[in-house]
Amino acid sequence: MNILVCLKQTFDTEEKIVIENGEISEDGVEFVINPYDEYAVEEAIKIKEEQGGEVTVLSVGPSRAESALRTALAMGADKAILVDDESLFGDEYTISKVLAAVAKRDSYDLILGGYMAVDDGSAQVGPRLAEELDIPHISTITGLEVNGDKVKVEKDVEGDTEIIEASMPVLLTAQQGLNEPRYPSLPGIMKAKKKPLERLTAGDIGINPDEIKAKTEVLDQFLPPKKEAGKILEGELDDQVKELVQLLRNEAKVI
């Protein structure tokens, strides 16, 4: 089985976001594999270990994203592809076009990814990629069984579980709960540097960057307003209620 996992390198979720001159500062920031993509990597490696096959991890991003791919290789993926050509960076529209162009170079039975990235949180790239490749997709899965050329997935729906079957090739996006990603082992880390990592540019995948320019534009970036200290009302209950109503009306202006 040939499995492709698309992953994005994102800020460590514990990092503090700092905005400098309207841009998010990357100074001294730790980067990780987007946690939802990590579930996808783990699932792909599990399937490979159980049923054989090859796992390719793919990312579009700056050269620092190599360390995310190497981590996936250390976990057990077989090879990596990094599209680090800046002319191909853009929004969800652009990225899915680039991923599709890379995916089309080979034939994959199963394409996995996180259902969204924790940084921009659009949850669009997976479904868009499936559309570009003209294959079915199922998003936010929490369970997966692979039987021959069929997949049976579980997904959370409004507090219930939906079970869906599909034929491969298929694209699936991972939700929290799918698995518990492994730590890369020491031998895995040592082997990762010897595994192939291919770097691609627009020319390599036959794309004209001008034709896939971002459809959206970021106009401004700002941090949420600082949370003000809370107010604890004191005194008799009746007075507290009166004060609360008054505050809700005059200060918070919600009633």
Partner 1 sequence: MNFELTQEQDMIRKMVREFAEAEIAPKAAERDRTGEFPQDVFHKMGELGLMGIPFPEEYGGSGGDTVSYAIAVEEVSRACGGTGLSYAAHISLGCSPFYYFGTEEQKKKYLIPLAQGKSMGAFGLTEPNAGSDAGGTQTTAVEDGDEWVLNGTKIFITNAAYAEVVVVTAVTDKSRGSRGISSFIVPTSSPGFKIGTIYDKLGLNASNTAEIIMEDVRIPKENILGKLNEGYKQFLITLDGGRISIAAMAVGIARAAYEASLQYAKERRQFGQSISKFQAIQFKLADMATHIELARNMTLKAAWLKDQGKPFKKEAAMAKLFASEMATRVCDQAVQIHGGYGYMKEYPVERHYRDIKLCEIGEGTSEVQRLVIAREIGAS
Interface residues toward partner 1, by CB under 8 A: 30, 32, 66-67, 70-71, 74, 183-190, 192-193
* Least distance from partner 1 to the Cβ atom of residue 31, Å: 10
List beta partners, residue 57: 5, 80
Greatest Cα pair distance, the chain, in angstroms, is 74
Pairwise CA distance, residues 163 & 190, whole Å:
39
For partner 1, which is the closer residue by CB, 167 or 183?
A: 183
> Cα–Cα distances in Å, from 75 out to 118, 172, 181?
21, 20, 9
The encoded tokens of residue 188 equal 């895995």
For partner 1, which is the closer residue by CB, 38 or 85?
A: 38
* Least distance from partner 1 to the Cβ atom of residue 233, Å: 21
For partner 1, which is the closer residue by CB, 152 or 193?
A: 193
* Least distance from partner 1 to the Cβ atom of residue 252, Å: 26
The owner of tokens 């990592």 is: 197
* Least distance from partner 1 to the Cβ atom of residue 186, Å: 3
For partner 1, which is the closer residue by CB, 106 or 198?
A: 198
For partner 1, which is the closer residue by CB, 105 or 183?
A: 183
Pairwise CA distance, residues 254 & 172, whole Å:
42
Pairwise CA distance, residues 68 & 61, whole Å:
10
The encoded tokens of residue 40 equal 């996808």
DSSP 8-class letter at 115:
S
Candidates 24, 23, 34, 14; CA nearest to 173 is: 34
For partner 1, which is the closer residue by CB, 35 or 209?
A: 35
